[in-house]
Structure 1
């Protein structure tokens, strides 16, 4: 860590003194001010700045600044409320990479975040600050008017920054009033993180995954059963990320035939085909600077998959009827309820595209796996339905709550939403009752009077139907998921009189 630093022993002693000094800070302001002052001294720079992300990881703000040895905040009117538009800062933040520049004045980099101070700034060092959970929480920036190599200080200053983040968290917990619940460990996100509803362990894990990819340019692959809220999660990633001021476009890849889907995504030029009487921009152009959600990506034709792969690799598109390509800046989020790995093995999906899309997969849990979330979601949907219908809010009977809790919801959140909205319409009084909910008896059978064999057959029938629904009736995929030979699955389907009319594709 100190091999390239001049007088490494003296530097190590000074660094140790900074650790000791920061450990004695009594409050947040003193801690952050002492930190930037110490960093400026260690690196021998005229400027040290500290930028921190807010609790939702959506806003990057300047938290402390030391200029010419003096910690004195600039006037609020001269500061940006959010530094997400600064490309240098965002590159370091999103890529979790150190930036070191020695010819700043002669470069094309935009540095409006640096204060004016006599002669132009020449050298710059930007270090991502990572907490103990390996999550980026902010940036440390040093700048000098001399041509110096600040890279040699990056490792030691990063360690000092991690210590400061730990001390900051400790001070916040010590100042928290007695009885106030602590935020989620490592995320700082409330149980309804990013506008999503649910506090079950599997949803908390989902919030943590979202927080890790929020400020990253990586392609996200959302996987999960139909109705688990893949589009809602994609919108949350967009709305709480640095692209939230730009467009969020959704395209269902199963909604158009191949020829129309290509022109819809890439656009076309006049004369590209019969009826193309003018140029038309595609959805990639419409989403430029923002986010494009490709829903049901597993249904995209193979020929289009090759063009999508080039967009992901090169960041450029070519409209139909054009010989020229041009660059675009679009974050792509893909969603599917299919098993793309199985489709790759069957030759129905490109392997290279699969690995490019699965840079950061997020598996959304089925509603039956979200312990305790059903009732929270049901109350939320009931309130929204009452607001839409302009009627008084309804209350819940215990029988209605128990009725919902015992149901497995093969249609997941989408099914729950529809059931609650229908129940609110049927409710003529002020209380929702069990009879207002028409649940599929297949999922919650009335078992009184059944012997053991009949009950087991009902359980087996429900399991097979649920697996077939999940795999769109594909018996080979269902047999593989159940760990059965296909012949055994066919025998069980015949014994239980299950056919294609017993489930929805």
Structure 2
């Protein structure tokens, strides 16, 4: 651990003193402050920072920093809105890798998270902090305006930081047992929505549900139409939770025949069947410690459903051709576009497995239920397509935006993405027109005299009427589903010219 340090015995003595001092801290604030002071003393750096994962939404937050001998939380106004775009921090966090920069002048990393100083920062060390659960739950960072080779500090500072994480959790448990615990502050959902796009009421409800389950062991069932982004949501749950540094593996249950799917999931031993010439680990083993997404779970054969139920209940698997079981630690997320409750009634899906999978269901909204998200997503996909093609960004005509807003998108976000990417390829000028989109003629508004705002009113009217029909005219349920106060919904009846007769269609 001390191989690269000039005076290893002196450093080891100082490190031991820090462990002793930190073990005596009486509260979390004192513990964190003493930790950063200790890191500054051990490393000789002018700046030390502690980043911790926010418990509710899993975002990285600057807890406190120690700068030029002064312990101070920086003014919130001076901090980034979030650290999702800080590649150096995110690399260390998600890959559980130490980042050591001896000369920052030639670094490719942006370092906007460092406080500005009169003379530039020259050396930096960023170390992931691993909890007792073997999950990365924070970062300790130190920086200097001098050229320092800091790689020799990485292991010891990581161990010291992990000890601090354990002490923080111990102090929190003691506080709860004494009745002094205060609820953790709940921050507003960040604009990225866990890497998902959209700010409609339907998507904000989805973000809220994701935030509730990030740090829990519950099995999640993602439901929704084809193309609504179920895999994206599963990835968001994995990346935002405590397993982010471990594997995330996806298996489509409809992609293999029954025998192949079983060997793919559970693995096999040499000689288990013809052609099994070696042992092979299955996806449950490959995802150990991380997350396994079972997509299209409704298409899993009944015989495999019984084996999956045992995995969920006992946390153990038995590979093909093996007489012994072994334990695994995998979070299962299931996804389907099918109605599992209906399949249960039809005898095509095990009832006990259904209730085990549906421990925490999340319904992903169809694109037609997301209102203004359609145009925001279209612009985003167009910008990404232009970047991929290395061409200037395109403009949008009002007619093109109106045609997209009036379309129902049965293929949801996946269909929108494909349509926009094709349109960018077809666009030879600098503006996207209606002709660049291969929309069915009967799916878009035929009245070309309508402006964009008028077409959006038509879309809004259709959404409200569809919701009322779905709820058999119940205004309270419809208002709740649309994310509106009932009074606002009644006001929109008049503005959108909705009459009782419109619900009969």
TM-score, length-scaled by structure 2? 0.59
Counterpart contact for 1:247–1:287, Cα < 8 Å: yes
Structure 1: where are the runs of 5+ without partners?
1-32, 39-49, 65-70, 92-109, 116-123, 127-138, 144-149, 167-185, 449-458, 468-505
Alignment deviations for residues 176-210 of structure 1 (CA, whole Å, 9 cap, x no partner)? xxxxxxxxxx4432233111111111111111111
Alignment deviations for residues 91-137 of structure 1 (CA, whole Å, 9 cap, x no partner)? 9xxxxxxxxxxxxxxxxxx997446xxxxxxxx998xxxxxxxxxxx
1:232 counterpart = 2:225? no
Distance 2:161 2:394 in 1: 53
Alignment length (residue pairs): 334
Q: Name 1:259's counterpart in structure 2.
A: 259
Distance 2:397 2:166 in 1: 61
Structure 2: where are the runs of 5+ without partners?
1-25, 32-49, 66-70, 74-99, 101-124, 138-158, 449-461, 471-505
Distance 1:85 1:318 in 2: 29
What's the Cα RMSD here?
A: 3.7
Alignment deviations for residues 134-170 of structure 1 (CA, whole Å, 9 cap, x no partner)? xxxxx66339xxxxxx869625212xx23xx56xxxx
Distance 2:218 2:389 in 1: 41
Distance 2:293 2:358 in 1: 14
1:141 counterpart = 2:187? no
Q: Name 1:325's counterpart in structure 2.
A: 325
1:212 Cα deviation from its structure 2 partner: 1.1
Q: Name 1:396's counterpart in structure 2.
A: 396
Distance 1:216 1:187 in 2: 18
1:86 Cα deviation from its structure 2 partner: 2.5
**C-alpha distance 397-187 of structure 1, shift in aligned 2 (>3 A):** same
1:63 Cα deviation from its structure 2 partner: 5.9
Counterpart contact for 1:250–1:295, Cα < 8 Å: yes
1:53 Cα deviation from its structure 2 partner: 3.7
Where do residues 17-28 of structure 1 align in structure 2 (5 Å cutoff)?
none
Where do residues 374-389 of structure 1 align in structure 2 (5 Å cutoff)?
374-389=374-389
Q: Quick one: which of 179, 182, 202 aligns to 1:156?
A: 179
1:87 counterpart = 2:133? yes
**C-alpha distance 393-89 of structure 1, shift in aligned 2 (>3 A):** closer
1:361 counterpart = 2:361? yes
Alignment deviations for residues 463-487 of structure 1 (CA, whole Å, 9 cap, x no partner)? 9xxx9xxxxxxxxxxxxxxxxxxxx
Counterpart contact for 2:132–2:166, Cα < 8 Å: no
Alignment deviations for residues 384-433 of structure 1 (CA, whole Å, 9 cap, x no partner)? 11111122111111111111111111110011001001100110001101
**C-alpha distance 339-111 of structure 1, shift in aligned 2 (>3 A):** farther
Counterpart contact for 1:51–1:140, Cα < 8 Å: no
Structure 2 SS opposite 1:193 = coil
1:447 Cα deviation from its structure 2 partner: 8.0
Where do residues 276-291 of structure 1 align in structure 2 (5 Å cutoff)?
276-291=276-291
**C-alpha distance 242-84 of structure 1, shift in aligned 2 (>3 A):** farther
TM-score, length-scaled by structure 1? 0.59
Structure 2 SS opposite 1:249 = strand
